[in-house]
Structure 1
């Protein structure tokens, strides 16, 4: 087996929905490739489980797991396999998730990360996140949790998932960057802005574009962990980029490290 003589450096980029993490990741990847550094980008969004797998999870654990988003709705094993393959100098197929279809894209559409990948950028809204305490889970954070998860089964199951294989994947990160939103309220505006952009470019009758009301409900799935990340991650991330409401970087500072 052709082993990679140098383990690929894994850069984790965490940022709330609409914070610009995907744009930053692709721009950085292009610059690194131009400099001769083989670079691959893996979004945690592309690790979402298939719609059928989430439907089974919704039936077995809690109905809210049918909606992609929280820990437990990703196939973390694929991410671990990708990192393991690159560490061994093997080509790794990077999955793609079709958000318009709310399902994993056919494997024929996946791209390959070369076996000599030197930099792997792992980006996503909960990359590097730590689970919450049992005490923190007791009270609902929004109407969704209050009305549809009154007993807390969904949020406890998501938290338990985050404490499991997600930590194994995040443990491979060599340097963690946080794009820190000014608050959760800004995330709602950013996500609405994203959907309006999709609506302008989507074909007539295209699926997957949400109304403002649908966005409002959708982001509530992410609210608990997003607020937790904004509170606790700045103390341990290697680099913290604080953003204004217009996503302009206001401050770049080293965090507390991990």
Structure 2
């Protein structure tokens, strides 16, 4: 079965009984794993659905610049916990739970900035299903000892004292857990390896360049490899630990086909 068919079956069973608030599916998967495609397919299948991406909650460039100046220069790059506007996410969920026409935030990766609020699309009223997708949706923080050693060249050379990764981990342990607590069912699209994640991300960026997109957020291959290094630590952590607590784990092969399903 395809990932969307497996998830659709789980959603149908969860929606059998009436609900006062929307069902929230947390859909986690590394970059390039097909989250957006699966989320769109599910939204098309179920009426009154909302797709909310963690990526659309990124802080605006000026906010990340302030964080970079105050804490660590690596926070200028979107990605790790600490670079998202969690208050915006919590407010959005609160509005959806209140059955309001909540405007859904949008982030433009080509310009590396949030789209102005006047252009956000309102959610259907009432929303019955929220597909909350993102590369670290549902992730839990690492133990302090796991933060001691760098995992790649970026951390070794640009975060030798661990300031960046400790701050990101503390953010994940705090406000992010309040946001993730709203998830009713957590599903992981589990990539076969970190190396495959890098390949998938390169494919994504090449497609973006071929589409004619322009802006500071459009990257060459060498820039992609540096960019994904920001995500490597937590992606590896998710691949190793989330299968123990996710409600559904869909194991992917190199071509993003689901080759095994584990249910909790």
TM-score range, shorter chain: over 0.9
Give the match for residue 188 of structure 2. Answer: 178
**Unaligned ranges ≥5, structure 1:** none
Give the match for residue 200 of structure 1. Answer: 210
Give the match for residue 237 of structure 1. Answer: 246
SS of alignment partner, residue 136 of structure 2: coil
Aligned counterpart for 2:138 among listed residues 128, 142, 149: 128
Q: How does 1:35-46 map to 2 (within 5 A)?
A: 38-46=48-56
Q: How does 1:1-258 map to 2 (within 5 A)?
A: 6-33=20-47, 38-202=48-212, 207-255=216-264
The range that moved more, 240-249 or 149-158, is: 240-249
The range that moved more, 165-174 or 244-253, is: 244-253
Deviation at 1:209, TM superposition (A): 2.3
What is the rounded CA distance, in whole Å, between the counterparts of 1:65 and 1:239 in structure 2?
32
SS of alignment partner, residue 121 of structure 1: strand
1:71–1:159 CA contact under 8 A, matched in 2: yes
Deviation at 1:84, TM superposition (A): 0.8
Deviation at 1:202, TM superposition (A): 1.2
SS of alignment partner, residue 73 of structure 1: coil
What is the rounded CA distance, in whole Å, between the counterparts of 1:86 and 1:210 in structure 2?
35
**Unaligned ranges ≥5, structure 2:** 1-17
Q: Deviations over 1:212-243 (max 9, x none)?
A: 11110000000000000000000110000000
Say how many residue pairs are matched: 247
1:137–1:152 CA contact under 8 A, matched in 2: yes
Q: Displaced runs of 4+ in structure 1, greater than 2 A?
A: 205-209
Q: Deviations over 1:36-95 (max 9, x none)?
A: xx1101000000000000000000000000000000000011111111111112221111
SS of alignment partner, residue 165 of structure 2: helix
2:80–2:231 CA contact under 8 A, matched in 1: yes
Deviation at 1:115, TM superposition (A): 3.4
1:6–1:118 CA contact under 8 A, matched in 2: no
